Structure 1
């Protein structure tokens, strides 16, 4: 229960940060790089709410999921489906970028390091 509570708080905090970045940050570093790095941490925290003990290689699976969404952007899924809802367009994204994949990888490395430090303390 303690772990689940930690991940609920983590998810809510990171979600609020992501919303603030999406709405108010218009720069060339925080929004494109930190926001993309945090999104995999957000997804990971969300999954850990329901699987508090985790599963082996979960950060890798989150990375694969993020890459899958990025590939959908390459194939212009938002335009193909005619999605006009602003929130949906932001969540799904509309522009493929290799730098996004690199940011997802950095976020997942951060998750692995965080989890290892947590296990050792």
Structure 2
């Protein structure tokens, strides 16, 4: 990985982040969207955020790393790590780390990573061949 800024990926990251905020705030009553789609999209957000600041020729390895990271975060929820670290319920870090383990979330992260894999294979997910 090489440090290299990409405005295109940063703008895409901001757009995906805004979709996540929309899901969390306005679409929270639509169960499927809040419970599943947000978890599928969050791995895409992590991918685009990393690609905003780093250039890599190993996108598949990056996606695999994001998948393992997502699994790690989900498994820390099983052990209530946010509470053990002293974060109050409702605090930003408590929300980011999460508080409930779910096998369905694991499947959603895997689905999101598979979608990213297919997107980079179709068009290298790099805006028509430019980085």
- Same fold flag (TM > 0.5): yes
Alignment of 1:1-121 (within 5 A): 4-24=6-26, 25-55=28-58, 56-84=60-88, 85-119=90-124
SS of the counterpart of 2:31? coil
Q: What is the distance in 1 between the residues matched to 2:21 and 2:57?
A: 26
Say what the alpha-carbon RMSD is for the aligned residues: 1.8
SS in structure 2 of the partner of residue 67 of structure 1: helix
- Cα drift, residue 119 of structure 1: 3.4
Q: Is the 8 A contact 1:48 1:54 kept in 2?
A: no
Q: Report the structure, 1 or 2, having the larger helix content.
A: 1
What is the aligned residue count?
Answer: 119
Deviates more, 1:53-62 or 1:72-81: 53-62
Structure 2, unpaired ranges of 5+: none
Q: Deviations over 1:43-82 (max 9, x none)?
A: 1111111223343511110000000000110110111122
Structure 1 segments, 4+ long, off by >6 Å, are none
Following the alignment from structure 1 to structure 2, what is the Cα–Cα distance between the partners of residues 41 and 119?
Answer: 14
Whole-angstrom distance in 2 between the partners of 1:17 and 1:54: 27
- Displacement of 1:96 after TM fit? 0.2
Could you tell me the TM-score, scaled by structure 1's length? 0.89
